[in-house]
């Protein structure tokens, strides 16, 4: 079928229908009769690739029917609570789908199973309590996924197994208390991962083993007490590591020795400076030498000073305080000692914008697919 649109004089035609602006472009593009469907609740742009629908903040309580050639769909900021199983089955070519800031409490196992071309899926800021192992199993082209700001309590072991193209994954602000050992094992192209603001008490030693492209990791605002030995050994591309607002007492020797590209590390209000492993203090004073930006502070928010107190006879624990005073040591009273000084001047940088935020910002600015 010849899908070209011809008009005498070669002029573009601008149609106004209620609050909808429909732009019909000359040449290869959408056909107003077959591809572009005007909806009273959505703004629709018909570009050379297919229709793009903006239905954000439209008060939708259910998803309308969209033409099969729809490529981008923005339904964020509505009051959707449930979605029919087949609601997206007909739009098999869709590349970007934004369902964020709704009131979704669940999504069916196979709801995205027909959308094999999907590259970006945003389900952030909903009320999801769980996702199944088949959640995005058919979305092999998926590059950017956000399920942040929900109520997830667990992740199935193989939930991301088929998403080999995944580049950014947002799982922050949920209620995850643990993550499966191999949950990211097939995501070899993963570059940005946030698990911030969960209830994690530990990280599996080999959880990032296959994520050789990983550049940015955030584990801030969890309940971590130690950094597992060699957990970042294979992440040689890592540049940004955020561990802030945990209660880290133990950092193994050489935990970041393979991360030679690491330039930024943030561990704000991380350390229990009243009872700190001597090896951890040594790691802190060593790691900052080659960093461009860092923030390493005690749980009370104060920077680590250069005066410490030995808290155990074998010297395994230290208390750190600006005043050398054995009574401030809560591990065990012992003799005082001096260690090498640490430059406590911190250089902070603005919050790092995740990959998915960049993609969404660019997409919603110019309406182009990335």
| Dihedral sign for Cα atoms in the order 205, 197, 132, 96 | negative
Tell me how many degrees the CA angle 199-201-207 measures, rounded to the nearest 5: 100
Least confident of 264-278, 280-294, 325-339: 325-339
**Model confidence band, residue 319 (pLDDT cutoffs 50, 70, 90):** low
Least confident of 52-61, 77-86, 261-270, 330-339: 330-339
Give the three-class secondary structure for 57. Answer: coil
Q: How far apart are CA 36 and CA 68, in angstroms?
A: 10
Q: Quick one: how far is CA 231 from the chain centroid?
A: 19
Averaged confidence pLDDT in the chain? 78
- Name the β-bridge partners of 145: 121, 169
- Name the β-bridge partners of 295: 266
CB 22 within 8 A of CB 47: no
What pLDDT, on a 0 to 100 scale, did the predictor assign at position 279? 75
What pLDDT, on a 0 to 100 scale, did the predictor assign at position 291? 87
pTM above 0.75, yes or no: yes
Q: How far apart are CA 295 and CA 304, in angstroms?
A: 10
The domain spans of the chain are 262-350
Q: Is 66 exposed, middle or buried (0-12, 13-18, 19+ CB in 10 A)?
A: buried
Does an H or E element contain 23, and which?
Answer: strand 20-24
| Phi and psi at residue 289, to the nearest 5° | -60, -35
**Model confidence band, residue 112 (pLDDT cutoffs 50, 70, 90):** very high
How far CA 248 is from CA of 140, 267, 271, 294, 342, in Å, comes to 37, 9, 5, 16, 18
Sheet of strand 144-146: strand arrangement: 43-46, 51-54, 72-74, 96-98, 120-122, 144-146, 168-170, 192-194, 216-218, 240-242, 264-271, 293-298
Least confident of 112-116, 125-129, 150-154, 308-312: 308-312
142 Ramachandran zone, left/alpha/beta (phi>0; psi -120 to 50): beta
Query: Tens of pLDDT along 198-236?
Result: 999 999 999 999 999 999 999 999 999 988 888 999 999
What pLDDT, on a 0 to 100 scale, did the predictor assign at position 12? 29
Give the three-class secondary structure for 10. Answer: helix
Percent of the chain predicted with pLDDT > 70? 72
End-to-end CA distance of the chain: 28
Name residues whose C-beta falls within 8 Å of residue 361's C-beta, 6 or more positions apart in sequence.
Answer: none
Name residues whose C-beta falls within 8 Å of residue 44's C-beta, 6 or more positions apart in sequence.
Answer: 20, 21, 22, 36, 37, 38, 51, 52, 53, 54
Percent of the chain predicted with pLDDT > 90? 50
Q: Which residue has the tokens 């035609």?
A: 13
Query: Tens of pLDDT along 45-103?
Result: 776 677 889 999 988 899 988 988 899 999 999 999 999 999 999 999 999 999 999 99
The first and second tokens of residue 145, run together, are 């996924």
Name residues whose C-beta falls within 8 Å of residue 328's C-beta, 6 or more positions apart in sequence.
Answer: 274, 309, 319, 321
Q: Which residue has the tokens 């590390």?
A: 265
Radius of gyration of the chain (CA): 26
What pLDDT, on a 0 to 100 scale, did the predictor assign at position 229? 85
- Name the β-bridge partners of 53: 44, 73
Query: Tens of pLDDT along 123-182?
Result: 999 999 999 999 999 999 999 999 999 999 999 999 999 999 999 999 999 999 999 999
CB 201 within 8 A of CB 176: no
């Amino acid at each position: 079928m010849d899908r070209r649109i011809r008009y005498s004089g070669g002029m573009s035609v601008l149609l106004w229908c209620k609050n909808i602006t429909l732009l019909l472009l000359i040449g290869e593009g959408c056909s107003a009769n077959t591809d572009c469907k005007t909806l009273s609740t959505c703004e629709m742009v018909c570009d050379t690739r297919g229709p793009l629908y903006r239905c954000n903040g439209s008060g939708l309580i259910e998803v309308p029917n969209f033409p099969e050639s729809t490529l981008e769909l923005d339904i964020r900021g509505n009051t959707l609570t449930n979605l029919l199983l087949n609601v997206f089955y007909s739009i098999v070519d869709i590349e970007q789908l934004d369902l964020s800031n709704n009131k979704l409490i669940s999504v069916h196992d196979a709801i995205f199973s027909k959308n094999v071309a999907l590259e970006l899926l945003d389900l952030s800021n909903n009320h999801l309590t769980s996702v199944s192992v088949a959640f995005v199993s058919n979305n092999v082209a998926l590059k950017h996924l956000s399920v942040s700001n929900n109520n997830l309590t667990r992740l199935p072991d193989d939930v991301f197994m088929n998403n080999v193209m995944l580049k950014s994954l947002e799982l922050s602000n949920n209620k995850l208390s643990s993550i499966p050992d191999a949950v990211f094992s097939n995501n070899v192209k993963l570059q940005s991962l946030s698990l911030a603001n969960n209830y994690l008490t530990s990280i599996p030693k080999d959880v990032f083993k296959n994520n050789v492209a990983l550049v940015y990791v955030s584990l801030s605002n969890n309940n971590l007490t130690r950094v597992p030995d060699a957990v970042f050994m294979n992440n040689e591309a890592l540049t940004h590591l955020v561990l802030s607002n945990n209660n880290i007492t133990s950092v193994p020797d050489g935990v970041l020795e393979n991360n030679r590209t690491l330039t930024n590390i943030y561990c704000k209000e991380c350390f229990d400076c009243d009872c700190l492993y001597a090896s951890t203090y040594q790691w802190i004073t060593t790691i900052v030498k080659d960093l461009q930006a860092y923030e390493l502070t005690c749980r009370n928010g104060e920077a680590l000073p250069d005066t410490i107190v030995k808290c155990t006879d074998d010297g395994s624990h230290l208390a750190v305080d600006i005043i050398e005073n054995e009574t401030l040591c809560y591990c065990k009273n012992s003799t005082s000692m001096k260690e090498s000084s640490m430059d406590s001047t911190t250089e902070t940088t603005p919050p790092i914008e995740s990959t998915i935020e960049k993609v969404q910002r660019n997409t919603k600015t110019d309406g182009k697919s990335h």
